[in-house]
Amino acid sequence: MSLAAPRIALIHATALAMPPIEEAFARLWPQARCMNLLDDSLSVDRAEAGELTESMRQRFIDLALYAKGTGCRGILFTCSAFGPAIEGAGAACGLPTLKPNEAMFEQALDAAACGTGRIGLVATFAASIESMGAELQQMAQRRGQSIESHSLHVPEAMSDLAAGNSAMHHAKVARAVHTLAAAGCEVITLAQFSMAAAQPQAQTGLTVPVLSSPDCAVLALKGRMTHE
């Protein structure tokens, strides 16, 4: 398999995450050969359980090992509510493995480093907020950086998108972003990959940066694999 055109596994817990990341790869790393693995029961089970169970952790390891067995040279998980499980999967398979929001959070921390440290997080999947907030705080602590994380859930927006009403989804996300900007957040992050298409509308009229994860993730994985 060509090192210049590596096979990358994109592992999803919802089909809504697939178009944004495929579009980002097409623009930013078209040489990569992407394969998609979807287990949409993961997001359902995570929401019902209210926590990340050992069974879910094992399922992530199984998915990563399957991807490795197909010849993939790197893995990008697009499901934002499973950070610890993704870390375990990466350790088990030994491939460059990226959590969905890792690169975006690094950019957010850079943007907040010279100010008050207020970072906003807008999510359409409520179960992701706690784990993502913890991940952001841990990354800040490793950098010796003090931050304030402000989260806002946008109810029904994910259902709007699944029903094909992207205009309603984008409008709701944009309102939430503007609410956090008005509250003094210096940078605002969009938690789910499926929210990426709402970023231009959310950014309109704001001077604070609004970050979405697909572009950040593709560039970070490309950079990591290039230097290994």
Domains with residue ranges and CATH for the chain = 7-100+215-226 (3.40.50.1860), 102-212 (3.40.50.1860)
With a CB cutoff of 8 Å and minimum separation 6, the contacts of 38 are: 11, 12, 13, 15, 18
pLDDT score of 227 more than 70: no
pLDDT, residue 127, reads 86
146 residue type, one letter: S
pLDDT score of 139 more than 90: yes
Sign of the alpha-carbon torsion through 128, 195, 160, 171: positive
Calpha distance 53→128 (Å, rounded): 14
Mean pLDDT for the stretch of residues 41-64: 93
Q: How confident is the model at residue 1 (pLDDT cuts 50, 70, 90)?
A: very low
pLDDT score of 107 more than 90: yes
pLDDT, residue 3, reads 61
Q: How confident is the model at residue 2 (pLDDT cuts 50, 70, 90)?
A: low
pLDDT, residue 4, reads 73
Residue 203 burial (CB count, 10 A): 18
Q: How confident is the model at residue 80 (pLDDT cuts 50, 70, 90)?
A: confident
Contact at 8 Å (CB) between 214 and 24? yes
Contact at 8 Å (CB) between 148 and 100? no
Per-residue pLDDT tens over the stretch 147-197: 999 999 999 999 999 999 999 999 999 999 999 999 999 999 999 999 999
Mean pLDDT over the full length of the chain = 93
**151-47-99-30 Cα dihedral, nearest 10 degrees:** -100
pTM of the model: 0.84
pLDDT score of 47 more than 90: no
